[in-house]
Amino acid sequence: MKIKFFAVGGTIDKVYFDALSKYEVGESNIDDILKNARVNFEYDISSILKKDSLEMTDKDRLAIRQAVQNEPNNKVIITHGTDTMIETAKVLGTVKDKVIVLTGAMEPAKFKSSDAIFNLGAAVAAVQTLSNGVYLAISGRIFTPENVRKNRILKLFEEKI
């Protein structure tokens, strides 16, 4: 079994630049997380974008969709910013014959208090067990793009009511 990971940016990959006194999207943390977890599966990682999801455009979402569509592997995980993850998941809904799982984090993966490692682990389990479709693995749950919303106050994802 092989899993394809696409990094597109977001808080999960943000790093702090002291000289600038701000956070910016840096290199993907996926490989470090997987190596430290001692995973027992093959994987490949590609970076499509390095953007905060609030800066993503429709063109960016189409580029993500095209990369996923062209990927020969049918198990795909996308690390994505949480603010517009749902919108991207909806664009991916037309991709057929793949299990696509989006995940991200409320704090950068480099932070001890980050949910990034847990969310990535949930995404790995989800992509291996779910049927073809598009899902979000975040906040300890698996959602579809149609049944989820981000609760910015509680800093978690929950079922849409």
**How much is the pLDDT for 27?**
61
50 or 92: which leads in pLDDT: 92
CATH no. for 2-159: 3.40.50.1170
What pTM was computed for the model?
Answer: 0.86
DSSP character for 56? Answer: -
The pLDDT of 60-65, averaged and rounded, is 96
* Backbone torsion region of residue 14, taken as left when φ is above 0, otherwise alpha when ψ lies between -120 and 50, otherwise beta: beta
- 17-26, 50-59, 91-100, 151-160: least confidently modelled range: 17-26
Residue type, 159: E
| Residue 79 annotated to the active site | no
**How much is the pLDDT for 11?**
67
**pLDDT digits over 106-150, tens only?**
766 666 767 788 899 999 999 999 999 999 999 999 999 999 999
**pLDDT digits over 69-118, tens only?**
999 999 999 999 888 999 999 999 999 999 999 998 876 666 676 778 88
For residues 86-105, one letter each, b for 16 or more C-beta atoms within 10 angstroms of the residue's C-beta and e for the rest, the string is: bebbebbeebeebbbbbbbb
The pLDDT of 26-54, averaged and rounded, is 82
According to the per-residue pLDDT averaged within each range, which of 28-32, 53-57, 113-117 is highest?
Answer: 53-57
- Catalytic site residue from 11, 79, 82, 84: 11
